[in-house]
Amino acid sequence: TLKETIQRALKKLGVKQLNNGTSTGFNSFGNGEVIKSYSPVDGELIGKLTSTTKTDYEQVIENAQTAFKSWRLKPAPQRGEIVRQFGNKLRELKQPLGELVSYEMGKSLQEGLGEVQEMIDICDFAVGLSRQLHGLTMHSERPGHRMYEQYHPLGIVGIISAFNFPVAVWAWNTALAWVSGDVCIWKASEKAPLCSIACQNIIAGVLKENNLPEGISNIINGNYIVGEFMTTDKRVPLISATGSTRMGKIVGKTVGERLGKSLLELGGNNAIIVTPDADLKMTVIGAVFGAVGTAGQRCTSTRRLIIHESMYTKVKDALVAAYKQLRIGNPLDENNHVGPLIDKDAVKMYQNALTKVVEEGGKLLVEGGVLTGKGFETGCYVQPAIAEAENHFKIVQHETFAPILYLLKYTGDINNAIEIQNGVNQGLSSAIMTNNLREAELFLSQAGSDCGIANVNIGTSGAEIGGAFGGEKETGGGRESGSDAWKVYMRRQTNTINYTTELPLAQGIKFDL
């Protein structure tokens, strides 16, 4: 049964049933109020933990600061070795961790396992990176001088994560931060806190086996108030925050006021452009998966389809037919495509959006609604919906974190579609479905998509860890994961060495004494 599966997973992950309100693990303690984690799948209480008080937080900072002093001295490839071992532990525990992700957050088991796979992949990436944290050398204008730059560890990296990727986002940050020589403090979402305990247990085991201090990886538990301990704290030079644009505006301002660094990964309003040259089958698969995968709770979920008028009816009919095939229910049952939303507040926002789009003049093609009856007792299961709408509608401009797809029509050439695509405040992911080279290249050009991610003949949703991940405008401008995203976790230093007996000044300035 589901209950047995989850009990088994929790046991394998060392997450105890915390009935006395205390938490497991050295650095996951807290003396604050009890947080209860309920599953959106069946409404069961999964476990309890205690939140972190300010006093607890001071202890965590001290642990992290002490750990940093030794960790930063370890050669980067040796830090990579620890990350390699962590990746191997994740391979061993992929199944139970994927199950916990699926049960606590509500995404399908396949997606839960996929999330753990992303953690493994970023570990592999980081291990290679640990031998490549390189700067440049430059030619000095002064004779007998050498100039180069190098990257040093930054210190404590504060990670604030959203509920929808309760484990991968942490790994994206922490694997890079660790090889960079940083130590981390993670505040996971209060909506999926047990996932963070499981992850902490895994890394704590690896650190212990290697006689390293657990302060290299720390977690703190609680809501935004606990997050604010870090955002206001100048002992935490970098805050990497993933979540809503609303949160990012507050965090960006708070960290900016103390001139700290922030890496912001915020909301999206992602669109697929469907041109007259699009492959219909690929379009439908890409759009449906993008819109209903994770019940529309991905930052890269497809929210808008911008369809050329000549394709409009064909795409619309195919989508409505495809939505009829969707099976909604327990996400741990692999027969189902769509699981629940995270909680009832999310359901309210979904219902509100459906009301709003009609009020603004839109038309529901697939009506949606909250499912009731056997298997749907939590009240968190909703029917994915499709609405015909216009881009300027307030509700279309807003990211509703639920499976609602807006169909928008364009006429004329591709530039009109690009204008609609870019005509929102967010700038995360975008895609074009076309077999026309000119359209595809224009979409990718400087006059094309203004998003951090732009795809051709792939949907908006999901990304590989090898590329830098993030978006522009109200998505926050941060980049994490692959490419050279590691640079944000390090401080750059320019070094000039004079190996002569003279002291020539730069720019030919003379200063004789």
What minimum distance in Å lies between the beta carbon of 407 and ligand NAD? 21
CA dist 376 and 41 (Å) reads 8
Q: Closest Cα partner for 319 from 355, 299, 353, 292?
A: 292
Cα radius of gyration rounded to whole Å, the chain: 24
- The separation between CA 329 and the C-alpha centre of its own chain, rounded to angstroms, equals 25
**293 is a site residue for ligand NAD (CB under 6 A):** no
**391 is a site residue for ligand NAD (CB under 6 A):** no
What minimum distance in Å lies between the beta carbon of 62 and ligand NAD? 21
Among 160, 194, 199, 236, binds ligand NAD (CB under 6 A): 160
Q: Which residues contact 449 (CB under 8 A, 6 or more apart)?
A: 418, 421, 422, 430, 432, 443
CA dist 89 and 160 (Å) reads 23
**343 is a site residue for ligand NAD (CB under 6 A):** no
Q: Which stretch binds ligand NAD (CB under 6 A): 72-80, 199-207, 242-250, 494-502?
A: 242-250
Q: Which residues contact 500 (CB under 8 A, 6 or more apart)?
A: 143, 144, 145
Q: Which stretch binds ligand NAD (CB under 6 A): 27-35, 157-165, 455-463, 488-496?
A: 157-165
Do the Cβ atoms of 145 and 496 come closer than 8 Å? yes
Phi, psi for residue 316 in degrees, rounded to 5: -55, -50
Among 68, 151, 186, 401, binds ligand NAD (CB under 6 A): 401
Q: Which stretch binds ligand NAD (CB under 6 A): 55-63, 84-92, 98-106, 162-170?
A: 162-170
CA dihedral 54, 178, 241, 31 (to 10 degrees): -20
What minimum distance in Å lies between the beta carbon of 83 and ligand NAD? 21
**286 is a site residue for ligand NAD (CB under 6 A):** no
Q: Which stretch binds ligand NAD (CB under 6 A): 142-150, 154-162, 315-323, 460-468?
A: 154-162
Q: For residue 144, is it left (φ>0), alpha (ψ between -120 and 50) or beta?
A: left
**115 is a site residue for ligand NAD (CB under 6 A):** no
Among 2, 250, 322, 365, binds ligand NAD (CB under 6 A): 250
Catalytic residue among 99, 104, 115, 265: 265
Do the Cβ atoms of 146 and 499 come closer than 8 Å? yes
Nearer to ligand NAD, 25 or 227 (CB): 227
What minimum distance in Å lies between the beta carbon of 463 and ligand NAD? 9
Among 86, 125, 151, 163, binds ligand NAD (CB under 6 A): 163
**229 is a site residue for ligand NAD (CB under 6 A):** no
For residue 353, list its beta bridge partners: none
Q: Closest Cα partner for 126 from 93, 174, 158?
A: 174
Tokens 């795809």 sit on residue: 455
Q: Which residues contact 4 (CB under 8 A, 6 or more apart)?
A: none
CA dist 301 and 400 (Å) reads 10
Other residues' Cβ atoms within 10 Å of the Cβ of residue 395 = 20
The 175-204 site mask, x for binding ligand NAD (CB under 6 A), equals ------------x-xx--------------
What minimum distance in Å lies between the beta carbon of 161 and ligand NAD? 6
CA dist 478 and 471 (Å) reads 7
Among 299, 311, 366, 440, binds ligand NAD (CB under 6 A): 299
Among 219, 428, 433, 485, binds ligand NAD (CB under 6 A): 428
Nearer to ligand NAD, 283 or 400 (CB): 400
Q: Which residues contact 210 (CB under 8 A, 6 or more apart)?
A: 82, 85
Among 204, 247, 451, 490, binds ligand NAD (CB under 6 A): 247
Helices (H), 387-436: 394-397, 414-422
What is the SS3 assignment for 395? helix
Q: Closest Cα partner for 247 from 177, 191, 304?
A: 191
What minimum distance in Å lies between the beta carbon of 472 and ligand NAD? 11
| Interaction residues for ligand NAD, span 461-490 (CB under 6 A) | 475
Among 124, 228, 343, 390, binds ligand NAD (CB under 6 A): 228
**296 is a site residue for ligand NAD (CB under 6 A):** no
Q: Which stretch binds ligand NAD (CB under 6 A): 237-245, 386-394, 405-413, 456-464?
A: 237-245
How many residues at the interface with ligand NAD, by CB under 6 A?
29
81 counts as catalytic: no
Nearer to ligand NAD, 393 or 469 (CB): 469
Angle separating helix axes 76-92 and 109-129, nearest 10 degrees: 160
For residue 31, list its beta bridge partners: none
Other residues' Cβ atoms within 10 Å of the Cβ of residue 296 = 26
The 254-273 site mask, x for binding ligand NAD (CB under 6 A), equals -----------xxxx-----
What minimum distance in Å lies between the beta carbon of 348 and ligand NAD? 13
Q: Which stretch binds ligand NAD (CB under 6 A): 151-159, 224-232, 311-319, 381-389?
A: 224-232
Query: DSSP letter string over 258-288?
Result: TT-EEEEE----EEEEE-TT--HHHHHHHHH
What minimum distance in Å lies between the beta carbon of 91 and ligand NAD? 24
Catalytic positions are: 265
- Interface with ligand NAD by CB under 6 A: which residues? 160-165, 187, 189-190, 223-224, 227-228, 231, 242-244, 247, 250-251, 265-268, 299, 399, 401, 428, 475
